[in-house]
Amino acid sequence: MYTKSIRELGLGLKNKEFSSVELTKHFLERIKKFNTLNALITTTEEQALKAASQADQKIAAGIQEDLTGIPILHKDIFCTNGVKTTCGSLMLDNFIAPYDATVVTKLKDAGAVCLGKTNMDEFAMGSSNENSYYGPVKNPWDTAYVPGGSSGGSAAAIAARLAPAATATDTGGSIRQPAAFCGITGIKPTYGLVSRFGMIAFASSLDQGGPMAANAADCAIMLQAMAGFDERDSTCVNRPKVDYVAELDKPIKGLRIGLPQEFFNDKLNPAIADLVHNAVKELEKLGATVKSISLPNGHLCIPAYYIIAPAECSSNLARYDGIRFGYRCKDPVDLEDMYKRTRSEGFGAEVKRRILIGTYVLSSGYYDAYYVKAQKIRTLIANDFIKALNEVDVIIGPTTPEVAFKIGAKNTDPIAMYLNDIYTSSVNLAGLPGLSLPIGFVNNLPVGMQIIGNYFAEAKILNVAHQLQQVTDWHTKVPAEFA
């Protein structure tokens, strides 16, 4: 059952080939069997079986939607009522969420069954999933390698087929980069399409929730349930509902593809470049046309991102002071001691590094020199995309400059780690949607290709990805150890 898509599982449930309870037990057994990946922080077996039983009752009554009775996982950044919600941090190790995030509510209302919460880089800060208080997640294709981050737990779980789909978040590439490293499909929606209410904040103007699954069709089903206006999120956009599933099978003849010159340079592994060009040729066979475009300010995305994101993180994480909720140091001598020790003990090294950077760039005398300048660069980057997307329908390029690296290989070099997001963070700065899908292997490790669309063009990029997956089979590959 673990190799079936959401559509196939839904059909199996409808035809009484298996029940949701049986399906849920099947995936819970796989989670127990392959827990060496460290992909999950919490497994919610009792709640899952209860929800599966309720789904079976609905199906028996003839009430079934695309996700009714389908097991999924939630990244441990989404508050889940009555379940530990840690954000991968000691700071929230004892936090039991008293409410559901909007994304959790929407998927629950759609009938999905939550199996548990996935591991992640602490407060979503990282590109390798080595920054979790609960230890690093391992890449199912080779457990000596990282799965990418910060949504590495979700990505590894899907790659190993521990669940058909999972939620994730993307601040600078944290859906697309681990999707590429693990050989699965993941989409970061347009900023504001998916509610951030109940999604623990890292950088509020960049964070966006989205789905991960084996293929684009399953991502479309997940996004269909996740997207929509939420009055509790002031940044959520109120716009008409789009049927992402209905758009999947549209032919792409006449599609205009733009290849950014700046993406194909000496920083990109040539073998990855070849795979991207091969995938584009497949799209050309389906009727697409290709032209070279330029994103001249793209090289500025990393310095701009690593000023804006830490600035927002330093503000958002100020609430973790040991007073209201979360970790508190033992036996503080006074209030100042409690603040200092709680934060120094409760946060990991990468989180503290980014808080310090953010506090510095927002301080008097440096705000204009760094933060304001970074915001101006952000506008230039967005304008580059807007200009390009007036000439083409989608922009295509590599998701990452290299394949997954070994665990520990970049721990002493934060800049080398940050450069993994060179092709993804600009999309967050612009607020655009981006999708990564698997297109092959280099050194037996998966390679991802990124498809970027215009604002609220999720249906278009899902359609392009789905059409490519109809003529390729990279999305069906499962690591041998987990097959």
Residues catalogued as catalytic: 75, 150, 174
The one-letter code for the residue type at 283 is L
Reading the block at residue 204, the tokens are 């509020």
- Distances, alpha carbon 74 to alpha carbons 104, 341, 458, in Å: 8, 31, 21
Going from the C-alpha of 97 to that of each of 92, 109, 121, 440, the distances in angstroms are 10, 18, 19, 40
| Separation between Cα atoms, residue 300 and residue 302, nearest integer Å | 6
Q: Could you tell me the sign of the dihedral formed by the alpha carbons of 221, 223, 228, 230, in that order?
A: positive
Do the beta carbons of residue 221 and residue 106 sit within 8 Å? no
Which residues does 298 contact at the CB level (< 8 Å), separation at least 6?
Answer: 260, 262, 263, 381, 384, 426
Between CA 174 and CA 119 the distance in angstroms is 13
Q: How far apart are alpha carbons 166 and 182 in whole angstroms?
A: 14
Phi, psi at residue 317, to the nearest 5°? -90, 5
Strands 434-442 and 185-188: antiparallel
Q: Give the CA angle between residues 29, 41, 475 to the nearest 5°.
A: 60
Please tell me the distance from the alpha carbon of residue 102 to that of residue 124, in angstroms, as a whole number: 18
Q: Which of 303, 322, 416, 311 is nearest to 356 (CA)?
A: 311
Residue linked to tokens 């503080």: 332
Of the candidates 306, 316, 110, the residue with the CA atom closest to the CA atom of residue 200: 316
Q: How far apart are CA 188 and CA 196, in angstroms?
A: 13
Distance of CA 70 to the CA centre of its chain: 20
Cβ atoms of 222 and 9 closer than 8 Å: no
